[in-house]
Chain A
């Protein structure tokens, strides 16, 4: 609870707490709707072994989830455990809205290190990651064959990607779809890895300097935006997010696009005719590929009613087997990866991408920084600015945020 709130609410707080107090031994867990069936299964399992602790499952929706979580955290009437995206955890930690969870984490070495880095700030762990994923490039093997390309040897370097995209682009079909619309995250997830691969970043490692206008970064931004400027990405790029790209792919007007494994099921269901291929995200000649690590963590709010019971339940949720059950993509623990669920051959490339996955910087103004960068990308796509100019403008804005 923040201070001004305290001052104003002191008189009434006694009343307030009496009305929402949950009984000792009760844990309220908010999980998003797509986890519901698997979460219920886990709760049942836990209850059977721990009859003293009652778990109340509340289902949240992915639409408006950040608003709802923040409203609860900020107003002091929070549940005991919440599922949130890795990227949100730092913001909560820096505002004192969640508690450190170092004492809950077991088998630290079993976790993918980048997942833990994501939710670490100020030397403490603020969330327990249970799900991770990265993008790869999904492509239409049939389109490759049509234009005389071998679908079994997809492009590996930037130059090859441009070459292949150019060949695939013809008559109402786009070779490689990038995003330029929707939520900021869509375009960050798809373009920032190119900057990383090229040896640069948006801000320096010590988070003091904006580096997004460095030559290597601008080169990557140019590479990304050129797919649109050279007509290899659909005309609608500026209004497309990841979902729109998937729909275009399903409509067979896009041959390649970046996404995660969560798209595979939709594609198979909506257009079974497509022969789906997956490749690693192409990298510059002689360099490694890269991707942003995405996924979900559990956090315990500072205002949780029963943090001790919550931690007991959390230890159960963090077990490899529980993670393997709950995750919609991959588990954050290596040992859980052995489960048969994750052996589908189509997942192979996504699995291979995981070690290249990196967290986004834990800068307190990261959301605004990415917004400034995204505005730059949109200005390039709109044709208002050249990449260098757009990134100079973005760098200036980002620098101001870093200096705060």
Chain B
């Protein structure tokens, strides 16, 4: 909340000062209507989910549906936090998502820079190759991927899932970052090179600071994707020391029944931290190229 208002305040004068001319923004009413609409559309199912998590079993499925439970209960949250494996899975999910996001990011930064700034033989082919892992249907790669992990001795380990998730996130991260790097004027880098900076120096001192919004976007993408992945986690992590949150959700379902209150509570627990994390990263999103360019 705080950081949000700060940004709004900080961002606005900056634009004005640098611009000199008044920015012809969208009209206030239009912004208001648009924002309300976006918030409603995005929040409605989530709100329904959160509401369901405080309903009692009897109130979950009623005809007609009820908007607000008569006696809201925190029982579902208690169950999820103290009577299930969710807290442990939360930790596993954090380790795996952070690990694979970090690794994918490092590899993607180099690869994207190579693709964005250099021309070499077979580049389109290699760019397509990067995407291969994404193009094979999941159903086709589960079994052979499992065999690969077994050969590497990585079944039921953090590393196993971290590597598998890299196959999913790395291609698109490379692809995204390449387009961000391309959008940065080559002239800025050339200037630095003339000043005697090395290629890597240029990448880390000029290009990266300018691409922070893109990098944040890629981080959010990779993190969210790994955070929510179900089928690979289900097949490759069978021990509760490595199981992730989506598996925890499935554990509330038995053959003919699902504890929906608990699933919804667990989903809220699973979703909110990411949304908050993003809220705290707002600062990095603002500024971007312009800030970097003026600061040199």
A and B touch in the complex (CB under 8 A): yes
From A67, A70, A77, A263, give the contact of B155 (CB < 8 A): A77
* Chain A positions 66 through 95: 1 when the CB is less than 8 Å from some CB of chain B, otherwise 0: 011011101111000000000000000000
- Given the known interface contacts A64-B250, A67-B235, the answer about A32 and B255 at a Cβ–Cβ threshold of 8 Å is yes
Whether B257 pairs with A77 at a CB distance below 8 angstroms is no
Whether A242 pairs with B256 at a CB distance below 8 angstroms is yes
Whether A75 pairs with B146 at a CB distance below 8 angstroms is yes
Whether A61 pairs with B155 at a CB distance below 8 angstroms is no
- Indicate if B57 sits at the interface (CB-CB under 8 A): yes
- Given the known interface contacts A243-B257, A251-B61, A270-B58, the answer about A58 and B239 at a Cβ–Cβ threshold of 8 Å is yes
- Indicate if B230 sits at the interface (CB-CB under 8 A): yes
A67 contacts which chain B residues (CB < 8 A)? 142, 231, 234-235
B102 CB, nearest partner CB in chain A, Å: 25
In chain A, what residue has the closest Cβ to B142? A71
Whether B62 pairs with A251 at a CB distance below 8 angstroms is yes
- Given the known interface contacts A63-B250, A64-B230, the answer about A9 and B151 at a Cβ–Cβ threshold of 8 Å is yes
Whether B146 pairs with A58 at a CB distance below 8 angstroms is no
A60 contacts which chain B residues (CB < 8 A)? 238
A281 CB, nearest partner CB in chain B, Å: 18
- Indicate if A49 sits at the interface (CB-CB under 8 A): no
A180-211 with Cβ < 8 A to chain B: none
- Indicate if A142 sits at the interface (CB-CB under 8 A): no
B61 CB, nearest partner CB in chain A, Å: 4
CA distance A15 to B230 in the complex (A): 28
In chain A, what residue has the closest Cβ to B247? A61
* Chain A positions 281 through 305: 1 when the CB is less than 8 Å from some CB of chain B, otherwise 0: 0000000000000000000000000
Whether B255 pairs with A328 at a CB distance below 8 angstroms is yes
Whether A61 pairs with B151 at a CB distance below 8 angstroms is no
- Indicate if A146 sits at the interface (CB-CB under 8 A): no
- Indicate if A20 sits at the interface (CB-CB under 8 A): yes
CA distance A30 to B231 in the complex (A): 17
CA distance A253 to B65 in the complex (A): 13
CA distance A109 to B153 in the complex (A): 45
- Indicate if A247 sits at the interface (CB-CB under 8 A): yes
Count residues of chain A with CB under 8 A from any CB of chain B: 44
Whether B256 pairs with A71 at a CB distance below 8 angstroms is no
A240-276 with Cβ < 8 A to chain B: 242-243, 246-248, 250-251, 253, 260, 262-263, 266, 269-271
Whether B147 pairs with A5 at a CB distance below 8 angstroms is yes
- Indicate if B190 sits at the interface (CB-CB under 8 A): no
* Chain B positions 35 through 71: 1 when the CB is less than 8 Å from some CB of chain A, otherwise 0: 0000000000000000000000110011100000000
B262 CB, nearest partner CB in chain A, Å: 13
A75 CB, nearest partner CB in chain B, Å: 4
- Given the known interface contacts A67-B234, A68-B235, the answer about A15 and B253 at a Cβ–Cβ threshold of 8 Å is no
- Indicate if B143 sits at the interface (CB-CB under 8 A): yes
Whether A62 pairs with B255 at a CB distance below 8 angstroms is yes
- Indicate if A367 sits at the interface (CB-CB under 8 A): no
CA distance A71 to B255 in the complex (A): 20
* Chain B positions 147 through 191: 1 when the CB is less than 8 Å from some CB of chain A, otherwise 0: 100110101000000000000000000000000000000000000
Whether A68 pairs with B234 at a CB distance below 8 angstroms is yes
From B57, B143, B247, give the contact of A71 (CB < 8 A): B143
- Indicate if B198 sits at the interface (CB-CB under 8 A): no
- Indicate if A153 sits at the interface (CB-CB under 8 A): no
A21 CB, nearest partner CB in chain B, Å: 11
Chain A interface (Cβ < 8 Å from any Cβ of B): 5, 9, 12, 15-16, 19-20, 30, 32-34, 58-64, 67-68, 70-72, 74-77, 172, 242-243, 246-248, 250-251, 253, 260, 262-263, 266, 269-271, 328
Having A62-B254, A243-B256, A270-B57, one finds 11 other A-B pairs with CB under 8 Å, namely A5-B147, A19-B153, A20-B153, A20-B155, A61-B250, A63-B250, A71-B142, A74-B143, A77-B146, A77-B155, A251-B63
7 nearest CB pairs, A to B: A19-B153, A34-B254, A63-B250, A61-B250, A12-B151, A75-B146, A71-B235
